[in-house]
Amino acid sequence: MQLNASRFGAFMLILLQSLHLVQAERLLQAEGLTKCSDSSEVEINNFNVVFTPDNSSISLNFDGFSSVAGDVLIEAELLVYGYKALTKTLDPCDLDLSVFCPMKAIELQLPTITQTLGKSVLQEIPSK
């Protein structure tokens, strides 16, 4: 049996529709924060952070309100299933985060920022 061009095209279309192409990417995502105290001077309404180990990047966006003004340090803790896996103190001026350097008592709306993490930070993140 010979297939003419139109039958071959129809056959290929049916074949391609029956195949499902899947692409997966490893990532660690958090959409919430744990408040460090009831008298927090920074309130976060929406929060989203995604760590992508395959390209060593982290992206972050959030919005909220700050009642603090002046130079600040940010202490970040990574909790994995309730266990503290990593603690870092960050100077927002070193990270070129103008919203936080110096901190202003304003409404915070941080557009998505993406940073590539260094090997020293990556070694501290649990991978399994």
φ, ψ for residue 63, nearest 5 deg:
-140, 155
Q: Read off the pTM.
A: 0.62
Instruction: Return the SS3 of 56.
Output: coil
- Highest-confidence range of 2-16, 31-45, 75-89, by mean pLDDT? 75-89
What pLDDT does 54 receive? 87
Residue 78 pLDDT level (bands cut at 50, 70, 90): confident
CB-based burial label for 47 (10 Å; 0-12, 13-18, 19+): middle
Any bridge partners for residue 62, and if so which? Answer: 47, 110
pLDDT score of 29 more than 80: yes
Q: What is the mean pLDDT of residues 23-46?
A: 77
